[in-house]
Structure 1
Amino acid sequence: MFLSTKSEPIRVLVTGAAGQIAYSLLYSIAKGDVFGKDQPIILLLLDITPMLTVLNGVVMELQDCALPLLREIIPTDQEEVAFKDLDVAILVGSMPRRDGMERKDLLKANVKIFQSQGTALEKFAKKTVKVLVVGNPANTNCLIAAKCAPSIPKENFSCLTRLDHNRARSQVAMRCGVPATQVKNVIIWGNHSSTQYPDVHHCLVNISGSEVPCYDAVKDDAWLQGDFISQRGAAVIKARKLSSAMSAAKAICDHMRDIWSGTPEGEFTSMGVYSTGNSYGVQKDLIYSFPVHIKDKSFKIVDGLPINDFSRSKMDATAAELIEERDTALAFLDL
């Protein structure tokens, strides 16, 4: 059976393309799981020069998959090649935190990377490009990239908190003995860091056909306000001795699929997006994770949800960390 499509190919960039997350991600993008089963893809794969040999191996594997939607693969270490006429940029590569590295040193190294990539977006990409920042510290890296691409709308930039969103859904589902698909409207507020706040005060669990508030379904307030909120990412790294590449790749696919195709009616997801200062008391000029609806490739923050004192304190704490990160990073920005 021959696959016939009338769509023009879209140009999709993945940075850090020789790395672990990309290795788990590229097949799903190339086979149509993200942008649709009739959407041809041109993959642009960017990595640093020492990784080009590894990247060429990834290219050979993608070619050997014989995927009908994959029209072209362009591996490169040159930003002017990688960012040319992009429809989608998935910025996975970043400087990882090394032993003994201060957070300000990590921010300084990543400001240099994301200033360069934001400038490349400004110079070479389409103004309609959708940009997802994955590399940590993702929120602040996303803000730097957006500031360095002033002609691309701020709402075209987002950072990944979908892994945390998926994790929260799954943990609630396991507690309730239902599939994760039966849990909706969890919220990740704030920074993709240890201060992030997974909030289930607006979450509903479908049990035997009835939607039950999460607190009533779980029946363990101490867990929901304690261990549930604590970071699981560190536990994965400790167990695997590697980062959570498979679940991160799945979350990237979910995030981009929702941007491309929209969120279901009556449901919202979590994304780090630009704060205009008009939602939930979050200061302007931060990339902060909010609950969002997505339609026609545009997001809208879900406003007006009631916030109790427990949630307010958590939301403010993660905002304070983001303000500190932003101000430290901007001091390194060479504009």
Structure 2
Amino acid sequence: MAKFVLAGKTDCPYYAKAELLADTLQQCLPDFKIHKISILPDEWKEWLGATCEKNNWKHEGSPLVWRELVEQGGKGMLLGGFNDFLEHCQDYYGITSDMTTNVMLSVAAENLEAKMNLIKEEQHRASLIQPLHVWITGALNPTCQVLIPSLLSPEVFPNVSAISLHLLDLEGNEEQLQSLRLEIEELAISMLHQVTTGTDLERAFRKADVILLLDDGGHDGENEGEEVKKKKVKVISERYKEYGQRIDATAKETVKVIVSGDSFLNLRCSLLVDSARSIDSHQFIAAAAQLENEAKAVLGKKMRMRPSDITDVIVWGNISGTFYIDLQRAKVFNHDGPITGPAFFSQPLLSIFPDRKWLETDFQHLVRTRRLAVTSKTGQVAATSAANGILTVLKAWNGATDPDVLSSGVACPGHYSLPDGIVFSVPLTFTDGKWSVVSELTVENELKYRLELSASELQQVKLNQ
């Protein structure tokens, strides 16, 4: 089989002549196949250069004709331009072209008009699609690469048919972002409408429906000096104030903003709330789900059960600082003990775990150091658990799941006597795309003291930024 590829400028008369000659051959010869590529005039030079470079060819002008050797795996063999194609047709098939110049020009004009009409139709179809705009900052963070395949899913965004994904990384370079864009496109996910990239704030957060902020300045090391911490706080504060201003100016009023990472979660979220004054503070969440899941993993190991069978663990306070894991509402399912029941049967964790001293001491310490231990061993952030934490929040917020309690950092002055001006991790419930603070919890003197300690720490961090 002879398979030829004919490419040319849409308005090129010689492309039109070669096209009609190829059509004649295809009609007369059953084993002759032609594939046509019509390129707009202002895009031709770039396309030709890229194609020749890829195939190690040298060619100028329009059209460009090559033969694909199907029996050799589709490898292309350059034929040349119109005269080369015409000579090949005369020599091998005894067919020539007698098209006049006027006809050539007429067909070329028709080709251009048809191409423009096709582009208009495609643009019109695209305009009918109303994609959900999802922005991710710190897009070169490993968490982003783990997150994206699961993010573009009806399980996370029910009732959404298309998503426009916008990748932003102020510290990255465009080449790295373009490589990431190509990888995402190659996933061939049906919900993905388009992917854009950027390394500056000029167009950031335009029409944003969802914003996921992953850039945090790195993990808070316990051995870091005060000066290093102050510098980190200053840099991250300036960035998040800018983010907040851009969100205020360009994002939708209903935007959902989730802050994730290892450092300064509460502070970063608080700065966004302060800077995006026209956006309701209920649209901002600092994700504590990763910390919740880490606590469940520690408990699961101690109790010899699956972490997924432990629910309603509460994280209070400063997610990446002084926090407290509260188990007063925690439940366990499928516990191997004297009292058992069906899969939906649960028991209060505190009623079957007698070692209260361990829960108040070693348990809290293990949760606090677990993530640092993982990153110390691998030399990388705990990307998988971070991504899972973000997805947990999104699913609850979008109504895809209905957890009884999900801890998150939010601005909630007045609840549990918390002060204004800070973002504090508290237990939430989600209904119809909105969250509310769980209010019927017991706050005894010890827990009250811990809440005051965390609130004071957050106020102090904010004063120093």
TM over 0.5: yes
- Any conservation in 2 of the 1:128–1:156 contact (CA below 8 Å)? yes
Residues 50 and 212 from structure 1, CA distance in 2 versus in 1: closer, same or farther, beyond 3 angstroms? closer
1:153-168 map, 5 Å: 153-168=280-295
Are 2:200 and 1:78 aligned? yes
**Structure-2 residue corresponding to 1:304:** 440
Letter matched to residue 318 of structure 1? S
Deviation per CA, 1:191-240: give whole Å up to 9, x if none: 01241111112211123334222122222212211121121121112221
- Any conservation in 2 of the 1:262–1:294 contact (CA below 8 Å)? no
**Structure-2 residue corresponding to 1:67:** 189
- Any conservation in 2 of the 1:262–1:293 contact (CA below 8 Å)? no
**Structure-2 residue corresponding to 1:226:** 361
- Any conservation in 2 of the 1:262–1:295 contact (CA below 8 Å)? no
In structure 1, C-alpha distance between the alignment counterparts of 2:172 and 2:276, rounded to whole Å: 27
Deviation per CA, 1:139-167: give whole Å up to 9, x if none: 01111111111000011111111101111
Local SS of the residue matching 1:66: coil
1:1-335 map, 5 Å: 8-36=130-158, 38-48=160-170, 50-96=172-218, 101-135=227-261, 136-206=263-333, 207=335, 208-209=340-341, 210-230=345-365, 231=368, 232-261=370-399, 264=402, 267-276=404-413, 278-329=414-465
How high is the TM-score relative to the length of structure 1? 0.90
Letter matched to residue 441 of structure 2? L
How high is the TM-score relative to the length of structure 2? 0.66
Local SS of the residue matching 1:248: helix
In structure 1, C-alpha distance between the alignment counterparts of 2:229 and 2:276, rounded to whole Å: 25
- Any conservation in 2 of the 1:262–1:296 contact (CA below 8 Å)? no
1:56 shift after superposition: 1.4
- Any conservation in 2 of the 1:52–1:77 contact (CA below 8 Å)? yes
- TM-align CA RMSD: 2.0
**Structure-1 residue corresponding to 2:40:** none
In structure 2, C-alpha distance between the alignment counterparts of 1:263 and 1:305, rounded to whole Å: 23
1:125 shift after superposition: 0.5
Letter matched to residue 224 of structure 1? L
- Any conservation in 2 of the 1:275–1:285 contact (CA below 8 Å)? no
Deviation per CA, 1:230-267: give whole Å up to 9, x if none: 211211122212221110011011111111116537x1
- Any conservation in 2 of the 1:165–1:187 contact (CA below 8 Å)? yes
Structure of higher CA gyration radius: 2
Aligned-residue identity in percent? 25
- Any conservation in 1 of the 2:212–2:260 contact (CA below 8 Å)? yes
Deviation per CA, 1:156-193: give whole Å up to 9, x if none: 11111110111122322333333333222110001012
Local SS of the residue matching 1:118: helix
1:301 shift after superposition: 0.1
**Structure-1 residue corresponding to 2:63:** none
- Any conservation in 1 of the 2:314–2:426 contact (CA below 8 Å)? yes
1:304 shift after superposition: 2.4
In structure 2, C-alpha distance between the alignment counterparts of 1:200 and 1:117, rounded to whole Å: 35
In structure 2, C-alpha distance between the alignment counterparts of 1:220 and 1:152, rounded to whole Å: 45
- Any conservation in 2 of the 1:258–1:294 contact (CA below 8 Å)? yes
Local SS of the residue matching 1:81: coil
Of stretches 191-200 and 284-293 in structure 1, the one that deviates more from structure 2 is 191-200
- Any conservation in 2 of the 1:263–1:269 contact (CA below 8 Å)? no
1:49 shift after superposition: 5.7
Q: How many corresponding residue pairs?
A: 322
In structure 2, C-alpha distance between the alignment counterparts of 1:76 and 1:38, rounded to whole Å: 24
Deviation per CA, 1:53-97: give whole Å up to 9, x if none: 221111111111111011100111232323100000001113236
Local SS of the residue matching 2:417: coil
Letter matched to residue 327 of structure 2? V
